[in-house]
């Protein structure tokens, strides 16, 4: 399969690129900084230079043309202010979903966050972030042209992945290594029966492959 990842230089995205390319897939990662290209090539992905904050839906659609799966893993990141939560975490996510639908890339996986809620209240940057992610999730879920899955990990860590998770509609608060988030995403790429599900993810006791297959059967 050909998989296009938005936010291709992100920590989760680069882990995912390695897993997918090792599995024999063709992977492209969208980046905004040309200097990041070598990192993507090292991970086995083709770098695509594009700024999702200023690109048109037609430009993004051209990148997605011919893809089998679109994965949104972009984010403004820690330290960014409220305006970029709106332009990246909401705006770029909406743009990427619109472009995928336009060119018929039905399989769409979005990396969201636990607590994302369009109705979340508050004015702090993190409040804006949770609202932006919730609005993006709602936009994706409203699209009949997408076979979407939304993954909402708990607190992300750089601990070595154990391959053991809890993946459910509601897990409760917890943390999860980025390694294991990437492993779940890679499994979801191979498991289209997870379409239509919004899932929370934390560390647990179930092997990744089992957790994804079990939730896909519910």
For residues 44-69, one letter each, b for 16 or more C-beta atoms within 10 angstroms of the residue's C-beta and e for the rest, the string is: bbbbbebebeebebeebbebbeebeb
Which contacts of 12-15 are long-range, i.e. CB under 8 A and separated by 24 or more positions?
A: 12/73, 12/111, 12/156, 12/178, 12/181, 12/182, 12/185, 13/71, 13/73, 14/39, 14/40, 14/43, 15/178, 15/179, 15/181, 15/182
Active site residue 108: no
Q: Which residue has the tokens 């230079």?
A: 49
Q: Which of 129, 161, 176, 203 is catalytic?
A: 129
Placement of tokens 């972009």 in the chain: 74
Residues 6+ positions from 59 with CB-CB distance below 8 Å: 50
Are 2 and 26 spatial neighbours (Cβ–Cβ below 8 Å)? Answer: yes
Phi, psi values for residue 118, rounded to 5°: -60, -20
Report the phi/psi class of residue 51: left, alpha or beta, with left for phi > 0 and alpha for psi in -120 to 50.
Answer: beta
Active-site residue list:
129
């Amino acid at each position: 399969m050909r998989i296009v990842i938005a936010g291709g230089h992100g920590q989760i995205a680069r882990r995912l690129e390695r897993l997918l390319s090792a599995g024999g897939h063709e992977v492209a990662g969208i980046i905004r900084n040309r200097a990041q290209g070598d990192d993507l090539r090292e991970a086995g992905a083709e770098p695509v230079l594009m700024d999702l904050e200023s690109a048109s839906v037609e430009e993004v659609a051209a990148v997605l043309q011919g893809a089998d799966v679109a994965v949104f893993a972009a984010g403004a990141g820690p330290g960014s202010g409220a305006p970029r939560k709106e332009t990246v975490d909401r705006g770029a996510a909406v743009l990427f979903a619109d472009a995928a639908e336009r060119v018929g890339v039905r399989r769409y996986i979005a990396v969201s966050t636990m607590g994302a809620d369009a109705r979340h209240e508050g004015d702090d940057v993190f409040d804006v972030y949770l609202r932006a992610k919730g609005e993006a999730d709602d936009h994706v879920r409203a699209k009949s042209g997408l076979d979407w899955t939304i993954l909402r990990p708990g607190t992300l860590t750089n601990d070595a992945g154990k391959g053991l998770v809890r993946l459910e509609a509601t897990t409760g608060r917890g943390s999860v290594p980025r390694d294991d988030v990437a492993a779940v995403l890679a499994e979801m790429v191979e498991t289209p029966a997870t379409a239509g599900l919004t899932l929370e993810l934390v560390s647990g006791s179930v092997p990744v492959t089992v957790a994804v297959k079990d939730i896909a059967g519910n």
